[in-house]
């Protein structure tokens, strides 16, 4: 038995003992408080086994190799573990940003706190500044050792539960768009912050508007240097588009595809068989791309468009797979059901999952924007 096989056996045992089997039924109709409480206790359980932040460096509580991370994600998916919906931005976007661009003090303050359950939100997008993020207008005016922030954010996932926010704000209104932006860590308990949830197509309210009215942020909470926030934001977006995909690709391959095959059984139609074979090939491609991206990112060799390729490929394949699931389920599969908390696209209902899958082609830069990045930065095509 290889070391990796032993690791898989350990993870498999752990999964069999710790993953709740009835979580979908139990979480249908969960209140917000029940959802937060479950997500925090599930995160703590994964963390106590060393499985919550496998992608972090060992000194901060992670340190699994890429093959070990893949095995862990495969087993969690195969055992149908609930997703870490609430901790997602903290363990991926915030942590990656702090590890790349934060100060020692910022890392020491926040990385252990994230492991203790601190929840994060990403406050980048604004009305009129989504795809064109550099057009953002929220302002941060220097006032001694603080900045005073005014403006509005939108589509901020999980803001109503967040303790901290990754915030982009304009510190120099006269500089060219990308040069006058700074990056802040904002305590969501600061006076002047109002969070208003927005209802989505599934009837959920997980993303929000954030209104900022004279919100005072200590200058020590800036990540990177003043007016250089655009460069720091690339680390956050790189994590959102790329590193998070390792888990998502394994989940789609080891849970989503398995369910699709089950939904199609018995496979006695050649069109259905063809589609399944095509998906299996595409999933193998996705998993290869993800692994390659993570390994090359770890050694600083990722290409400028690699994360965009993975994000585009994952989100559009997810749409095709859940769309085919909805086709196979037919009319009975289109009964409106309530989505269980803690599920993303894996609610157990193909139609809900197909509708939900569309959200993956938008955040972190919509598909059209990813294609532009791939064309310009990856292929070197003229603007």
Based on the shown chain and the rule CB under 6 A, indicate whether residue 199 belongs to the binding site for ligand FAD: no
CB of 23 to ligand FAD, least distance (A): 22
Identify the CA nearest to 61 among candidates 72, 71, 49, 70. 49
255-314 residues in contact with ligand FAD (CB under 6 A) are none
CB of 354 to ligand FAD, least distance (A): 15
CB of 10 to ligand FAD, least distance (A): 34
Based on the shown chain and the rule CB under 6 A, indicate whether residue 27 belongs to the binding site for ligand FAD: no
Quick one: which of 111, 255, 363, 373 contacts ligand FAD (CB under 6 A)? 363
Decide if 240 is catalytic.
yes
Structure token pair of residue 21: 């089997």
The CB density around residue 97, as the number of other CB atoms within 10 Å, is 27
Identify which of residues 74 and 315 has a Cβ nearer to ligand FAD in the complex.
315
The helix (H) or strand (E) run that includes residue 189 is none
Give the separation between CA 41 and CA 45, rounded to whole angstroms. 6
Question: Which residue's structure tokens are 């220097």?
Answer: 142
Contacts of 274 (CB under 8 A, 6+ apart): none
Contacts of 48 (CB under 8 A, 6+ apart): none
Contacts of 322 (CB under 8 A, 6+ apart): 256, 345, 350, 353, 354, 356, 357
The helix (H) or strand (E) run that includes residue 181 is strand 181-187
The helix (H) or strand (E) run that includes residue 71 is helix 66-78
Based on the shown chain and the rule CB under 6 A, indicate whether residue 362 belongs to the binding site for ligand FAD: yes
Cis upstream peptide for 69 (omega within 30°)? no
Based on the shown chain and the rule CB under 6 A, indicate whether residue 347 belongs to the binding site for ligand FAD: no
Give the separation between CA 153 and CA 91, rounded to whole angstroms. 21
By CB under 6 A, the count of residues binding ligand FAD is 18
CB of 341 to ligand FAD, least distance (A): 16
130-189 residues in contact with ligand FAD (CB under 6 A) are 130-131, 155-157
CB of 382 to ligand FAD, least distance (A): 15
Based on the shown chain and the rule CB under 6 A, indicate whether residue 120 belongs to the binding site for ligand FAD: no
CB of 233 to ligand FAD, least distance (A): 10
Stretch that binds ligand FAD, among 63-71, 80-88, 297-305, 364-372 (CB under 6 A): 364-372
Question: CA separation (Å) from 127 to 99, 132, 157?
Answer: 29, 10, 15
CB of 239 to ligand FAD, least distance (A): 13
Quick one: which of 125, 254, 347, 349 contacts ligand FAD (CB under 6 A)? 125
Based on the shown chain and the rule CB under 6 A, indicate whether residue 240 belongs to the binding site for ligand FAD: no
Structure-derived torsion over alpha carbons of residues 61, 63, 64, 65, reported in degrees to the nearest 10: 170
Identify which of residues 82 and 365 has a Cβ nearer to ligand FAD in the complex.
365
Identify which of residues 156 and 341 has a Cβ nearer to ligand FAD in the complex.
156
Q: Is 207 left (phi over 0), alpha (psi -120 to 50) or beta?
A: beta
Write down the catalytic residue from 3, 128, 209, 240. 240
Question: Which residue's structure tokens are 């942020």?
Answer: 217
Give the separation between CA 382 and CA 94, rounded to whole angstroms. 33
Identify which of residues 89 and 255 has a Cβ nearer to ligand FAD in the complex.
89
Angle between helix 306-329 and 350-357 (nearest 10): 150
Based on the shown chain and the rule CB under 6 A, indicate whether residue 353 belongs to the binding site for ligand FAD: no
Quick one: which of 320, 366, 375, 376 contacts ligand FAD (CB under 6 A)? 366
Stretch that binds ligand FAD, among 48-56, 290-298, 314-322, 361-369 (CB under 6 A): 361-369
Identify which of residues 38 and 124 has a Cβ nearer to ligand FAD in the complex.
124
Identify which of residues 51 and 345 has a Cβ nearer to ligand FAD in the complex.
345
Radius of gyration of the chain (CA): 21
Catalytic amino acids?
Answer: 240
Residues that bind ligand FAD (CB under 6 A): 122-125, 130-131, 155-157, 207, 359, 362-363, 365-366, 368-369, 372
């Amino acid at each position: 038995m290889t070391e990796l096989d032993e690791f898989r056996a350990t993870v498999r045992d752990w999964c069999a003992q710790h993953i709740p089997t009835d979580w979908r039924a139990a979480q249908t109709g969960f209140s917000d408080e029940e959802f937060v409480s479950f997500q925090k206790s599930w995160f703590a359980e994964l963390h106590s086994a060393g499985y919550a932040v496998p992608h972090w460096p060992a000194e901060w509580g992670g340190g699994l190799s890429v093959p070990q991370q893949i095995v862990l994600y495969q087993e969690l998916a195969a055992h149908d573990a609930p997703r870490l919906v609430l901790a997602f931005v903290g363990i991926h976007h915030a942590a990656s940003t702090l590890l790349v661009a934060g100060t020692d003090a910022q890392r020491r303050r926040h990385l252990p706190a994230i492991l203790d359950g601190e929840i994060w939100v990403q406050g980048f997008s604004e009305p009129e500044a989504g795809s064109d993020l550099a057009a953002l207008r929220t302002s941060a005016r220097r006032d001694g050792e603080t900045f005073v922030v005014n403006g509005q954010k939108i589509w901020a996932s999980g803001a109503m539960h967040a303790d901290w926010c990754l915030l982009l704000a304009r510190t120099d209104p006269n500089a060219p768009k990308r040069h006058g932006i700074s990056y802040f860590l904002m305590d969501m308990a600061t006076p002047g912050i109002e969070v208003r949830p927005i209802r989505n197509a599934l009837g959920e309210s997980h993303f929000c508007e954030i209104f900022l009215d004279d919100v005072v942020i200590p200058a020590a909470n800036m990540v990177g240097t003043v007016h250089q926030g655009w460069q720091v934001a690339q680390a956050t977006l790189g994590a959102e588009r790329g590193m998070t995909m390792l888990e998502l690709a394994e989940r789609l391959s080891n849970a989503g595809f398995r369910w699709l095959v089950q939904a199609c059984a018995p496979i006695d139609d050649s069109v259905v068989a063809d589609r399944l074979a095509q998906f299996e090939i595409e999933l193998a491609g996705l998993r290869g791309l993800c692994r390659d991206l993570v390994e090359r990112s770890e050694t600083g060799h990722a290409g400028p468009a690699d994360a965009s390729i993975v994000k585009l490929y994952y989100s559009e394949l997810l749409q095709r797979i859940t769309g085919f699931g909805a086709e196979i389920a037919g009319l009975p599969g289109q009964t409106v059901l309530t989505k269980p908390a803690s599920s993303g696209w894996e609610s157990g209902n193909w139609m809900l999952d197909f509708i939900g899958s569309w959200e993956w082609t938008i955040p972190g830069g919509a598909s059209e924007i990813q294609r532009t990045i791939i064309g310009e930065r990856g292929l070197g095509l003229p603007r």
